[in-house]
Amino acid sequence: MKILKKRALLLILPLAVAACCLLFALTVNLIVIGTVRRDIDEVFSEETPVCAVVLGAKVHEGGRLSDMLRDRMDTAISLYRNGSVQTLLLSGDGSGEWSEVKYMKLYAMEQGVPEEAILEDPEGYSTYETMHRAKHVYGLENIIAVTQKYHLYRAMYIARDMGMNVKGASADLDVYSGQLYRDCREILARIKDFGLCLFH
């Protein structure tokens, strides 16, 4: 009888731990998404000075923007053209030959955005660092975060935690391969950055 109870306990305990971890992950993700979802694809009033914060992504050899990054840039450029933002903060990994920020800037200027309307953040190595630097290095208060929607919730949540007034612009202009992997990875990334916001 004792052996059966011990075996039952050994079976139930891992299941209980797994259930608690799943519940925690679900709760954190619902908090992050629920906090900001109403402000996606919204804009500020016309008199508010606003900067679009464009989060970096892969640049291919030769300086060609990845599909996701190009769509982020096109979304931000559209916001600039229609007067929703006055400046663009281009944030990403500025190191190496194919610097994200360098080619983001070149692309924006090719599309008619003047250089004086562009801010460069070559040290935006993560979403958290991008938003931290937007607030504490560049002094931004009102921003529209620009990235794909799956990523936008986390970016906006961090920005709001930093004390910025934030809206979001979804840059989903296409269907991207490998999205299931990114969606799964984002679940864990939200938990990580939720913790950073909580303890920092």
Q: Tens digit of pLDDT for each residue in 141-195?
A: 999 999 999 999 999 999 999 999 999 999 999 999 999 999 999 999 999 999 9
pLDDT confidence of residue 16:
78
Q: Tell me the mean pLDDT in the region 102-122.
A: 97
Long-range Cβ contact pairs of 58-63 (< 8 A, separation 24 or more): 58/100, 59/98, 59/99, 59/100, 59/103, 59/104, 60/98, 61/98, 62/98, 63/98, 63/102, 63/103, 63/106
What CA–CA distance (Å, rounded) separates 117 from 103?
16
User: Domain 36-199 belongs to what topology?
Assistant: Rossmann fold (3.40.50)
Q: Is the pTM of this model over 0.85?
A: yes
Please report, for the chain, the start and end positions of each structural domain, with discontinuous segments joined by +.
36-199
What's the pLDDT score for residue 5?
Answer: 61
Mean predicted confidence (pLDDT) in 110-129: 97
On average, the pLDDT of the chain sits at 92
Two tokens, residue 131: 């938003």
Higher pLDDT, 75 or 22: 75
Interatomic CA distance for residues 45 and 73, integer angstroms: 22
CB 119 within 8 A of CB 88: yes
